[in-house]
Structure 1
């Protein structure tokens, strides 16, 4: 099945709902950006004020229109509020691969199982609905928290692309790549995401 950018994709379980990001979500996400300006410290995107968040969301929505990125807003069901964003991107229907990334979550909800529930929904969609062969993840090589999170969900480190991405402060970051393959998914699903089943 090909990934289609047109329909509104909603992924949910008992913990979380991922719904397509729209401009209407700005007032829900703005308090997070204003109170946690360092949340995207390792992202090339600016963050921490209203204009930066508008720009971030605008780029994400343009990415969907150009069929480059499919952004979601993350709704945490226990707290009944929007708490961040994540995306599918770098889709290749020909090569049956997709990237999961651009993820940020309110610090108050980190390490609560929310991100794992979110990743499970996205991985299940990629491997079981789309029947893709490969899911990719990437991060700034300095971002130990993201690297440990990718390893915790069973992703395999593949290498580092040196001086790969220009950051907003002029620094050129090196980018680490991880992946999960379709044949690895059944074992990872049972071992890592057993509480999601």
Structure 2
């Protein structure tokens, strides 16, 4: 699989792996950074394990994990990925996104998602992009809705969190035929 580097004037997304994940250690230790995720990245060992899983999935062609570099602040900001890639059905998920507190609410995430959607629909030629978000994570749900994704329903109590809580997951999607209109709207916001 070709390793994409996605970038524009604001952000650069390059492959996250065991050679560069250490840049994310200070961010990963921020309190409650991924509170709504079943993953745990709160220690160097747990972050390394999280990245190792992403790398393994990359080599199994089911994920493409990215390290996020904010060009405006000249600093590493966090991570995101394409995951649950289903090559035959041409469907993938965008998620596993976490950005340090200094980067939240700055418009960086919009640039990230725009580049990822553009790559998924225009380079990979996929038919659908999905987003799965903890039902309680209102901020992330609103962000995905602002992208133009359609709410498709809730998977009830489908994911076990690290504390044993069974979360319900909100499902959103964007279809390839919707992308040109969404792209135009997002481009104006960039």
TM-score calculated relative to the size of structure 1: 0.92
The corresponding residue for 2:93 is: 99
Q: SS where residue 119 of structure 2 aligns?
A: helix
The corresponding residue for 1:25 is: 20
Pick from 89, 109, 123 the counterpart of residue 115 of structure 1. Answer: 109
Pick from 153, 168, 172 the counterpart of residue 174 of structure 1. Answer: 168
- Count of aligned pairs: 190
Shift of 1:195: 4.2
Shift of 1:178: 0.1
1:147 aligns with 2:172: no
Pick from 33, 48, 54 the counterpart of residue 48 of structure 2. Answer: 54
TM-score calculated relative to the size of structure 2: 0.96
Q: Alpha-carbon deviations, 1:72-118, whole Å to 9, x = none?
A: 10011011121101101111222111111110111111111100000
Conservation of the 8 A alpha-carbon contact between 2:62 and 2:86: no
Written as runs of structure 1 = structure 2, the 5 A alignment for 1:12-91 is: 12-34=7-29, 36-91=30-85
Q: SS where residue 23 of structure 1 aligns?
A: coil
Shift of 1:23: 1.1
Shift of 1:27: 2.3
Conservation of the 8 A alpha-carbon contact between 1:37 and 1:49: no
Mean Cα displacement is larger for which, 21-30 or 38-47? 21-30
Q: Alpha-carbon deviations, 1:5-64, whole Å to 9, x = none?
A: x22210000000100001122321001122x13111010001222122111111111111
Conservation of the 8 A alpha-carbon contact between 2:114 and 2:186: no
Conservation of the 8 A alpha-carbon contact between 2:3 and 2:15: yes
Distance 1:76 1:119, change over 3 A: same
The corresponding residue for 1:3 is: none
Deviating 4+ runs (over 2 angstroms): none
- Hey, what's the Cα distance between the residues in 1 that align with 2:43 and 2:18? 16
